[in-house]
Structure 1
Amino acid sequence: MKNKAIVHIMNKKRMNAPDIKVDLDAMEELWNKYGINNIIFYKGEKVDYSHLISKLEKYGIYTQNYSNRQDLIDKVKEFNEKFEVIFVYTALELMINISNTLRQELGLKVSDNPNIFRDKSIQRKLLQENNKELGIKFLKGEPEKLDIDEIEKEIGYPFIMKPVNGVQSSGVVKITKRSDFEDYISNYKDFHDRLKARGIENKELIVEEFIDGNLYTLDYFVTDKGKVIFSKPAQEILGIDFGINDYFVVARVASKKVEDDLEGTGLKKFIEDTIKACGVRNTFVHHEFKLTSKGKLKTIELNGRFGGGRVDLFKEAYDMNLFEMLLNPKVEPGE
C-alpha cells in the first residue's frame, strides 16, 4: 500500500516568504499525526535547500522544481506512482486552475465548473439561477461596453465594481454616483496594465449591488460528495470601515465573539446551499460573506484556497490545523 500525500503548488516567492514556516509546521503536524507526506512543487531552477532537505524529509516533506505546465503535470504523475496523492493544493490564486487540472489528471473529483474560482461572474450566475434567495443583482461586461443607464436602471446606487478575475481586493470600488463610474472606467486601462504585469489578463468587469453589513469569512473543505467540513468563522476589518473607499484588509479577527455574532443566522445551511448551487466539489474554500442589516447572509465571493493568513490565524486562535479538514475532523461553526 502506497503512503498518502498532498501536493502543494508554490513559487519561489512563497517559499522565501515568512508564511513558509507556517506551511511547513502544518505539514509536519500532518506527518506526525496521520503519516501524510507533503510534496512542494515550485517553478524555476532548483533551489539549494541542502541544509533543510534532510530535516524536511524526516517529516515527510519533499521539494521538487519544474520548468513548465507540462513538466509539472508529468512530475506530479511520477510522484503519484510512489505515493497516493489524495489532494493538490495551492495558496496562490493564480495557480488555482492548474491545481484543478492536476486533480483531473490524477482522477480526482473537481467542481462542476473548474473555473468558478477565477471567474467571479460564474459564482454570481450560478447563485442567481439555482437559488435566487442567495443571489444578488449583477451585470458584467468589457469596460467600454458597460452602459451606466442600464446599471442605474437594473442595479441602482450604490454598487460595487471589480475585475472578473482579480486578486485579493484589487480594483474593488464602491460607486455612489455617475462621476465615480466615469472615473473608474477612465482609469481602468492603467489598472488593467498593472494586473497584466502580475500575470492576470482581465478583460471584463462585474457590476453588482452593494451589500451592507460586516464582512465575515469561513474556510472549509468540500468533499467529492459535496459534504462540507467546517472550520470557524472570522471577521475582516476593511479600509472601507474607516471611511476609505478601498477594500484592503486592515485586520482579521477570530474569536468567540465572532462565533456569537453569527449564532442563529443559519450559517451552516447558508454555506451548504451555496455549495450545492455552485456545484463545488473536492476543494478547500475561502468563503467571504456579509451579515446584512436585515439579518440575511449574502455571498461576496468564493475562493478555492485558504484565505490569506488563515493557517497561522486559526492555529493561534484555536490550535486548529486547517489541512486536517481534508481528513474529515468533526469541526462545526457556531450555529
Structure 2
Amino acid sequence: MNTLVIGSGGREAAIVKALARSKHSNKIFILNGNDGVTEAECVTDIDMSDHQKIGEFARDNKVDWVFIGPEAPLSEGLTDTLEGDFRLKVFGPRKYEAQMESSKAFTKALMEKYDIPTATHKTFMSVEESKAYLKTTDFPIVLKKDGLAAGKGVIIAHTLEEALNGVDALQSENEELVIEEFLDGDEFSLMVFVNGDTFIPFSIIAQDHKRAYDGDKGPNTGGMGVYAPVDYIEQKFVDEAVEKIVKPTVDAMVSEGMNYFGVLYLGAIVTQDGVKTIEYNARLGDPEAQVLLDLMESDLLEVLMNLDEKKETKLSFRDEYVVGVMLASKNYPDTPELGNEVVIPESIQDDCVISALKRTDDNTFVTSGGRTVLVLGRGQTIEDAKTDAYKKVEQIEFENDAVFYRKDIGHRAF
C-alpha cells in the first residue's frame, strides 16, 4: 500500500517509522517532512494549505491512505477535501469533528451537555467580561484560548494580576476564552483510535511535561519530554477514564451527528473526585507519538484497515520503557533563536526523532524551529530508560545555550 503522511514534525517522523514497519507498506510519501526522515520520499513543492494539489498528488501517486499528523490541516478541512473531492481514505477527522480540538468552547459544551467529567468552566466573548469574572474568582485558575495555539494557549494564573495579563495575551474582542477551575492531581495522556461508534484505546498511557523548565516551572510549551508506560498511575484510573470519559464522549459525538475517524487524544487528570478531562486533541500527541509508536508492536496499517472496517482489534506494545527528552531552541517558547549549530553523532541518530533541524552535513544540523529533536532512551525499567536518554543527550554538541532541555523528564515516576 502507498501512504501519504501530512506534516513536518517529530510526530510525523514517528508515524513514518511506524508505517515503514508494516508488512502492508509499499511507498511512503511525506509532506513536507524534515531532514530526519529517511524512510519516506519527502514532497517539498506543495504547500500544506493547498488542499487541491495535495489531493491531486495523492491521486496521481496511487496513495491508498493519507495520515494527517498536525491539528492545523484538520481544522482547515483537509480531510473534507481529500475525501469529498478525491475519494481518498484519510485517517484524521473532518473539520466539524476536528472541533474537538480546534474549539475549547465546543468541546466544553459537549461535555457539559452529556455530563462528562471535566473542570467547571465559563466561556466569555469579550475581554471586559473575562476580566470582570476573574475579579470574583479564587486562584489558581486556568485560562484557555478557544482556538489552536500549538500547545501554548493555556495559562495557569496564581494571582489576579497574572490572570488579567493572561486575558490580554490569549483573548481578542469577539473571541471566546474559556476560564476553568484549576484541577490538581496526576496527569496522563491516553490515545484512542476512533471510527464512529467504535474505538480502540491504547493499552498504555504516556505522561507529557508541558512546562519549559525543571520542576514544572516556566511557561507552557508544546511538550518538553515524555515517557511511557506510566506505572505509578493505577490501571483502575485508566479504566475509569475509558468508561466514564472516552466511551461517553464517543457516544455523545455519535448522538450529535459526528462521524469521527482518527485519533482522539484524551488529556486526563486523577483528582480527589475521580478522573476528569483536561482537554481533547484530534490527533496523536507530540511528543507522545514518538514514544508510543516506538513501543507499538502492532502493524499500524493493519490497525487502520481493521478500524476502517470496524473489526475488533487489540493494540500490542513492547514490554519496555521509553523516555524522550526534547531539545528546544534558545528562547523557546517565545521567539526561538534559529540557525544555531547542533551536532548529533551518527551512533545515536536512529534514537533522535528530529522535528526542527536542518541538516548541513552528515552529523551537523542547524536549528530551524522551537522544538528541535526528541532523544529516546530505552530500558527494562524507567530508571534505565531515563539514564539511557540522558547519556545520549550528553553526546549531542552545541554552542553555549543554542538549545536547552529539562533534566527531570520522568520525575513523577520516581
TM-score (norm 2): 0.59
Q: How does 1:1-335 map to 2 (within 5 A)?
A: 4-11=1-8, 14=9, 22-30=14-22, 33-35=23-25, 37-42=27-32, 61-68=40-47, 71-77=50-56, 79-80=58-59, 83=62, 85-90=64-69, 92-97=70-75, 98-105=77-84, 106-107=86-87, 110=93, 113-129=97-113, 131-142=114-125, 144-151=127-134, 156-186=138-168, 188=169, 203-223=175-195, 225-231=196-202, 232-239=204-211, 242=215, 244=217, 246-248=219-221, 249-255=223-229, 257-258=231-232, 260-263=234-237, 265-269=239-243, 270-278=245-253, 279=258, 281-294=260-273, 296-319=274-297, 325-328=303-306, 329-331=313-315
Range that drifts further, 159-168 or 284-293 = 159-168
| 1:160-219 superposed Cα distances (whole Å, 9 cap, x missing partner) | 012112334414222234333223234x2xx779xxxxxxx9943221121221111011
Residue identity opposite 2:4 in structure 1: V
What's the CA shift for 1:313?
0.7
Is contact 1:220-1:325 (8 Å) kept? no
Gaps of 5+ in 2: 307-312, 318-414
Taking only the aligned residue pairs, the percentage that are identical comes to 15
Deviation at 1:315, TM superposition (A): 4.1
RMSD across aligned C-alpha pairs, in angstroms?
A: 3.8
1:326 deviation in Å? 2.0
Structure 1 Cα separation of the partners of residues 283 and 238 of structure 2: 27
Following superposition, the deviation at residue 39 of structure 1 comes to 3.0
Q: 1:121 to 1:241 in 2, by over 3 A?
A: farther
Do the aligned partners of residues 255 and 293 (structure 1) sit closer, same or farther apart at CA in structure 2, a change above 3 Å counting? same
1 or 2, which has the higher helix percentage?
Answer: 1
Q: Is the 8 A contact 1:234 1:255 kept in 2?
A: yes
Number of residue pairs matched? 296
* 1:160 aligned counterpart, secondary structure: strand
1:76-117 Cα shifts (integer Å, max 9, x gaps): 245336636344412x23222243333442456845544332
Question: What SS does structure 2 have at the residue aligned with 1:330?
Answer: coil
Which amino acid is 1:27 matched to? L
Provide closer, same or farther for how the CA distance between residues 202 and 94 of structure 1 changes in structure 2, counting only shifts above 3 A. Answer: farther
Change (3 A) 1:324 1:208: farther
Unaligned runs of 5+ in 1: 194-200
**Aligned equivalents of 1:121, 1:146: Cα separation in 2:** 16
Q: 1:79 to 1:176 in 2, by over 3 A?
A: closer
Q: Structure 1 residues 62 and 183, CA, compared in 2 at 3 Å: closer, same or farther?
A: closer
Change (3 A) 1:19 1:277: closer
Instruction: Indicate how the Cα distance of structure 1 residues 22 and 35 shifts in structure 2: closer, same or farther if over 3 A, else same.
Output: closer
CA–CA separation in structure 1 for the residues paired with 2:122 and 2:230:
37
